[in-house]
Amino acid sequence: MMASNKIKLRNLSKDSKGAKRALKLLQRPDILLSSILISNNFANILASAIVTILMIDYFGGNVLLGSIILTLVILIFSEITPKTIASVYPESFATKSSWLLKLMVILFKPLVWLTNIVSSRILKIFNVDPMQSASNDNLNSDELRTLLEEHGDLIPSQSREMLASILGMEELTVEDIMTPHAEIIGIDITQSIEVAQKIIGSSYYSRLPVFKKSIDHVIGMLHLKDTHQFIEALEAGVDIKELLYDTTFISQSTTLSTQLDQFQQQDNNLSLVVDEYGEIQGLLTMEDIFTEIVGKFGAARADLEKELVKKNDGSVIADGNSKIRELNNFMGWDIDEDGSKTINGAITDYLDQIPQENVCLELNGYRIEILKIEENSISKVKIKKKGS
């Protein structure tokens, strides 16, 4: 009864009265245990008395022999064998034995009441509440992830990874998966119409930010369904603001689960990310959150494999702006993600200066070689885990 999985019993209870009885009995483990122990002790004492009488009447009072025989019988047939079988099939035995256990609970109710009065006083001394055992089956996110990893063999691996990603959304923030400021793609109205058309034609997203000279001077969001009127307005030199949606801003410290809920409530799938001072730090879309859950695929997967190139020696050639989280997932590494979110930022923070080409360093057990610098930013690095 105590080894049975309550989740499995709840599932069985949909079609089984025995499982329902077992669950009801487990709601009060103190009463159940008292009934079992009273029955068990009564049976053992009765057996001991009967064997003693038999030994005196038929074996010349050899009580020692009777004790040895009874001990072996109880151990084999009442303890080891049945309890081993029951521990292997706990839900099945709990379901089948629930009617007998319920009968015992009713039969020994007066004795249980008496013994529980005494034991409850003792339990209070140790600050133990028997009812707390009902909450022991409640699992937090970390415990659910461990359960998926260790006991999720019946669930396809891809589904396990998705479930683990969903559970991890409470820990991840917008900053962890956003597109950094320098990589935001949008339409600069000071550039040519041909450039705008090219950006629109190659966009992954249904909306694009429209700005003047830099994303820090954003005007609004263009929905791709309005691109024809937008291009015409640009060509005619008329005001384009009426064709754009309002820009929404979100904090970089917002958790992914909260932001997903906000996207759904606002019927919006793209927002700019700001820091505590209101400065634009990046961009987040609904697709970014979904990608975090299901993983990259198609063109996005191909782009990632171009961005992170594995070598035969176990190293990887990566872009400086690659996210540490994506590198960890891609290589199965554990580079610290608590500080800077990109490789470039992590190296710069470690050295406390902009590095030069061909500089090598060791960071958290990983050897990093800076291969190329462009415009005071690391563009290519080689990373290898020590000992691999």
45, 150: one domain: no
Q: Are 52 and 119 within one domain? A: yes
Contact 371, 347 (CB under 8 A): no
Q: Alpha-carbon distance 27 to 45, whole Å?
A: 29
On whether residue 52 sits in a domain, the answer given is yes
Q: Which of 20-34, 94-108, 127-141 has the lowest mean pLDDT?
A: 127-141
Nearest to 176 by CA among 264, 298, 273, 316: 273
Residues 290 and 240 in one domain: yes
CA dist 183 and 285 (Å) reads 14
Shared domain check, 198 and 131: no
Going by pLDDT thresholds of 50, 70 and 90, the confidence category of residue 300 is low
Residues 11 and 127 in one domain: yes
- In this predicted model, what pLDDT tens digit does every residue of 309-342 receive, in sequence order? 888 888 899 888 888 888 888 888 888 887 788 8
Q: Is residue 1 part of a domain?
A: no
- pTM to 2 decimals? 0.60
Tokens of 122: 């003792």
Nearest-CA neighbor of 186 among 160, 141, 136, 221?
A: 221
User: For residue 99, is pLDDT > 90?
Assistant: yes
The mean pLDDT value for 249-277 works out to: 90
Q: How confident is the model at residue 215 (pLDDT cuts 50, 70, 90)?
A: very high
Residue with tokens 């996110």: 141
Q: Is the pLDDT of residue 194 over 80?
A: yes
Residue that is last in its domain, among 239, 260, 294: 294
Whether the predicted pLDDT of 388 surpasses 70 = no
Which tens digit of pLDDT belongs to each residue from 113-161?
A: 888 788 878 888 888 776 665 555 566 667 677 767 776 666 777 777 7
CB 366 within 8 A of CB 383: yes
pLDDT of residue 305: 74
Single residue among 275, 294, 313 that ends a domain in this structure: 294
**pLDDT tens figures, 40-75:** 899 999 999 999 999 988 888 888 888 899 999 999
User: Residues with Cβ < 8 Å from 342, sequence gap 6 or more?
Assistant: 180, 320, 321, 322, 323, 324
- Fill in the amino acid letter for 6: K
Residue 286, domain member (yes or no): yes
Instruction: Say whether both 113 and 148 belong to one domain.
Output: no
Domain span holding position 12: 6-135
Same domain flag for 363 and 260: no
Residues 47 and 117 in one domain: yes
Do 193 and 92 reside in the same domain of the chain? no
State the total domains in the chain: 4
Nearest to 314 by CA among 262, 367, 261: 367
